[in-house]
Structure formats: C-alpha cells, structure tokens
C-alpha cells in the first residue's frame, strides 16, 4: 500500500554551475554523510570517467541498490544524438537506451516509496528539450515522496525547470560560488531538517 506524501512542503535544491565545479562530488559526499546519520536515500548519480583507451564515459549509480551501469559515451557534437529532432544541434554523448530506461524506472519508485533524500544528477537539455534521459524527473519532483531533493541542473535549463516544478520550496546554489565543505554542511543540515517522519 502506498504511503501518503509528506505533509510539509518539499524542499528542492537546484545545484548548478560550470562543468568541473564539483556538483557530483558534493552529491556523493552528501549521500555518504546522511546515510551514516540514518537517512533513507534514493536517486541517481552520473559519474564521468576516462578509460585507459582515452574514451570518456558516464556511469549511472543507483543510490538505492548501489548498482552501476554504463550510461553514455562522449563522441563530440558532430556524432552525438540530435536535440529536438536535430533543429537545435546535437548532444556530445551517445546514450545506452537500456540504462536510461533503468534509471527512469528507479526514479519512478520515488512516486510510491518515501525517502528522506532524493538525488537526481543531472537534469539538462536532454531531459527538458529532447524529452530523453531522466525525462520523468519533473513529475518525480512534483509528486515524489521525499523530504529534500538535490538536483544537479545544467545552467541552460534552470529557469525552465523552475517553471515546471511547483508546490515546493526551491533554492538554487551555484557550486562554483561556495566552498565544497560549506556546501556539503549546508546540504546535510537541510537533509536532516527535511527528514520524513516514519509515519508519514
């Protein structure tokens, strides 16, 4: 039987900033820290790495199960998947369709299962312009059962995502404008303050 949604307004942090600002690293540290404090964590983290061959790949980590899957490979803008049927250019990545479906399914779990912290890394043009990737993120943010959501958001779509998510307290933080330790401390405090009561 599905549990009712939290009675208090949900909190959402849009974590934005330039590439290599440390957004994913902060999310990883946040997850580890709040788990040690007993919070339930769900969501997805996308991790980029360079293989010994020189290729750059993204892996998606399921925060509930700990399972990782290959998500995408960097191919450059000439080879990537079209944006909006090609009228807006191309993405720099090719995606593994099965991993995208798997990630969406995991996010959909947050519509029926309560969690204290939801992490979505990331939401960008792929989701909001092309309707791919974690395209269900907006629905999960609006209807999901969580206390705090931390969402890594591409700066190009912050305004658009803000327009599409309603009924929550939303704060935007540029990861490049604050120290990683200060940011982590703030997010941990927010997560603890937003914890969903067991009976909720």
pLDDT tens digits, 67-113: 999 999 888 756 555 554 444 444 577 889 999 999 999 999 989 99
Report the domain count for the chain.
1
User: What gap in Å lies between CA 153 and CA 30, rounded to an integer?
Assistant: 16
Q: Please indicate, yes or no, if residue 58 is contained in any of the structural domains.
A: no
CB 173 within 8 A of CB 13: yes
CATH code, domain carrying 119: 3.40.50.300
Phi then psi dihedrals of residue 177, to 5 deg: -100, 5
**And the tokens for 28?**
């990883």
- The structure tokens listed for 173 are 């933080």
Distance CA 154, CA 142 (A): 19
Question: Cα-flanking dihedrals φ and ψ of residue 178, to 5°?
Answer: -145, 150
pLDDT in tens, 24-39: 999 999 999 999 999 9
Say what the pTM is: 0.88
In a domain, 86, yes or no: no
Domain-embedded: residue 199: no
Residues spanned by the domain of 115: 10-47+97-193
In which element (H, E) is residue 48 found?
A: strand 41-50
In the predicted model, is pLDDT for residue 162 greater than 90?
yes
């Amino acid at each position: 039987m599905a549990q009712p949604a939290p009675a208090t307004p949900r909190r959402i942090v849009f974590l934005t900033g330039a590439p290599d600002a440390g957004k994913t690293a902060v999310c990883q540290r946040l997850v580890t820290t709040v788990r040690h404090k007993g919070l339930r964590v769900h969501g997805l983290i996308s991790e980029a790495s360079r293989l010994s061959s020189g290729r750059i790949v993204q892996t998606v980590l399921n925060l509930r199960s700990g399972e990782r899957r290959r998500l995408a490979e960097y191919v450059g803008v000439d080879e990537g998947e079209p944006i909006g049927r090609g009228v807006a250019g191309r993405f720099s990545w090719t995606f593994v369709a099965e991993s995208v479906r798997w990630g969406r399914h995991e996010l959909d779990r947050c519509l029926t299962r309560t969690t204290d912290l939801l992490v979505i890394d990331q939401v960008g043009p792929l989701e909001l312009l092309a309707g791919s990737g974690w395209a269900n993120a907006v629905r999960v943010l609006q209807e999901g059962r969580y206390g705090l959501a931390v969402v890594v958001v591409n700066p190009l779509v912050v305004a658009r995502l803000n327009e599409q998510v309603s009924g929550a307290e939303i704060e935007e933080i540029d990861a490049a404008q604050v120290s990683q330790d200060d940011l982590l401390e703030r997010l941990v405090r927010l997560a603890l303050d937003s914890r969903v009561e067991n009976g909720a």
